[in-house]
Amino acid sequence: MKITPFLDRRLSHRFSTYDTDQDGHVQRSDFELACTRLTSAFGLDAGDERAKRLYEQLLGVWEHLAAMTDVNDDGQISLAEYKSAFVRGLLGRPEAFDDVYVPYLDALLAVADHDGDGQLGLEEHVRWSQAMMDVSEADARAVHARLDHDGDGLIGTEDLLAAWRGYYFSEDPDGPGAWLLGPLP
């Protein structure tokens, strides 16, 4: 896979959202902290089944990411390792991406879908985006509007999955994937 300048900006931005403690490396503890922040934002304690499922799924994403990127086996991922993994085909193709992200998104919705309607309303979307990825409220609101294709005020797993696919696989600077984490720096 070739990293275009546009993809390079998106990878750098995504890396910064993974690096929850902002120490310049992504580690298992970043995923644990992100899970704690998200479940706390929705009033769940660690014993809640939804919190446990999200924790399990996030650690699965961490394990997959670390196995593919941590080439020096130091338990952390540098930005260079992260980008290099994409050149080597970390995601391969969108369908393979789904194998990791669909269970994670289902677990995420189980936590963030506070009213239980199977989709994220605007406030739910803002809350999870801020808690988990430190997206500003204004940016999260703008992202929600871009992902809400039918204008009903709700986004579901398929909308989020399409946006994540677009984030990694589309070169469309106006597509929903490009804006998933707010405007690119």
Place of tokens 């080439």: 71
Question: Under 8 Å CB-to-CB from 171, ≥6 apart: which residues?
Answer: 4, 6, 7
Domain range spanning residue 14?
5-169
**Is residue 18 a part of any domain in this protein?**
yes
Low-confidence ranges of the chain (pLDDT < 50): none
Question: Under 8 Å CB-to-CB from 39, ≥6 apart: which residues?
Answer: 45, 46, 48, 50, 51, 54, 55, 111
Q: How many domains does the chain have?
A: 1
So what's the pLDDT on residue 88? Answer: 75
**Is residue 177 a part of any domain in this protein?**
no
- What's the CATH number where 35 sits? 1.10.238.10
Place of tokens 């189980």: 110
**Is residue 112 a part of any domain in this protein?**
yes
pLDDT mean across residues, the chain = 90
